[in-house]
Amino acid sequence: MHRLNRILVLTGAGVSAESGIPTFRGKDGYWRNLDPAKLATPEAFAKDPGLVWEWYRERRQRIRNAQPNAAHNAIAKLAQHAQEFLLVTQNVDDLHARAGSPKQKMVQIHGDIFVTRCSRCDFQFRDTGRGGSPEPPAPSAIYPHSGRLRACPERKSNGSIATTSAQPDQEQKDIPKCSKCSALMRPGVVWFGEQLPWDELRRVENYLEAGPCDFVIVAGTTATFGYIIDWALRAIASDGTLVEVNPEETPLSRFATQRLREPAAIALPRIVDELVIYRSSKL
Ligand code: APR
């Protein structure tokens, strides 16, 4: 059975699928018949920033309405029991964090959908928009046509949010502008063709360089990007276990020592319980 000293977990959209978040390349990935791979690009944003914002706002709302599933919970549990642990997720949703995966043991390598950042300068803010208002106005973003800085949504006498600021789709078609340089604000995610965030990349490299892992789990990803396979193979110790959790075959499958062709919310709780029970029996 397995030591639980150093663990690396790599996840993709499949882990959030059972929370109702569409995957990218699954049949449910298209939005208004638009291919996500065509929308999640700097070119698409340059061509029609309103349309791209609409897509991200719908995704943000869907994520707010979603709950972490048993796969997210199992990974958070593993983070608690492993001596050394790092979760590297390609997911821009916040379900791993909401399940309790600690920030210092998690890398969102493709960014965070609830971050809004300037497309030119370093101004950015993060707001999940929970607590009533569907999509909070940027703390200091100016809405061009209203020209008014909006601190918080107006309220009707019965306390409910006044339509003008509450109707997300009406206002939200506007594209927030940076209060520092007036450039367009964009979602804080990594789009196709863009560099991975340097600081996050450094954290992954530091973890890989700190020593081999006994156990590597790769769950819910097509492993489309070579760095996912590269990190998994560089991480695994010569006698370590590389587990792939995915109902389908992927380019990583031939390297895995175990292939679990099951939904993540089924396979991960079982794997983690086995590992945790085994570890506690060794203590
Ligand atoms: N449990 C486990 N795996 C699942 C489940 C499930 N319930 N449902 C689907 N999958 C698998 C699919 O078989 C597929 O291999 O999850 C994978 C989802 O693949 P993609 O949609 O390609 O998502 P991902 O691998 O995360 O994409 C990587 O590409 O689109 C960009 O930036 C985006 O982060 C994303 C990256």
Q: What is the pLDDT of residues 248-279, one digit of tens each?
A: 999 999 999 999 999 999 999 999 999 887 76
Main-chain dihedrals φ then ψ at residue 78, nearest 5 degrees: -60, -40
Tell me, yes or no, if 2 is annotated catalytic.
no
Protein residues with CB under 6 Å of any ligand 1 atom: 12-14, 17-18, 23-26, 29, 36, 90, 110, 219-222, 224, 245-248, 250, 263-264
Distant-in-sequence, close-in-space partners of 185: CB < 8 Å, separation ≥ 6? 116, 117, 118, 119, 123, 138, 141, 175, 176, 177, 178
Q: Of residues 2, 72, 96, 110, which has the active-site annotation?
A: 110
Give the per-residue pLDDT at 161: 47
Supply the mean pLDDT for the chain. Answer: 85
Ligand 1 atom 13: residue of nearest CA:
248
Q: pLDDT-derived band of residue 245, with 50, 70 and 90 as boundaries?
A: very high
Q: pLDDT-derived band of residue 32, with 50, 70 and 90 as boundaries?
A: confident
Q: pLDDT-derived band of residue 152, with 50, 70 and 90 as boundaries?
A: very low
Ligand 1 atom 15: residue of nearest CA:
222
pTM, two decimal places: 0.86
Nearest to 59 by CA among 79, 30, 25, 38: 30
Cα separation of 213 and 229, whole Å? Answer: 14
Q: pLDDT-derived band of residue 201, with 50, 70 and 90 as boundaries?
A: very high
